[in-house]
Amino acid sequence: MPIYEYRCDACGFQKEHMQKMSDAPLSTCPSCGKETYTKLLSAAGFQLKGSGWYATDFKGGSSAKASSSSESSAPAHSCGGGGCGCH
């Protein structure tokens, strides 16, 4: 479910709300009660739960560094010689 950020134009109250994409936008400020609560344009927010690909591939961060260092030590061309025309 997406997380939307709202702000009240009257009192300045700002908060994030988790809503379905099909839900109507909120309009009543939970702080002052006025109908000036508007959705802000902000970066997309989402929550990752469980033990999916993001936990195994990105959580530690060390596996990406290890693979990039081994790739940089590999030769740029795999043809083995200078007579192939790619050098």
pTM: 0.48
Asked if the structure places residue 9 within a domain, the reply is: yes
Q: To 5 degrees, how large is the angle CA 24–CA 30–CA 33?
A: 95
Range of the domain at 23: 3-39
User: For 14-52, how does the pLDDT look when each residue is reduced to its tens digit (9 = 90+)?
Assistant: 999 999 989 999 999 999 999 999 999 876 656 667 677
| 67: confidence class by pLDDT, cuts 50, 70, 90 | very low
Domain assignment of residue 21, yes or no? yes
Q: What domain count does the chain have?
A: 1
Per the structure block, which two tokens stand in for 50? 């469980």
CA pair distance 46, 18, nearest whole angstrom: 9
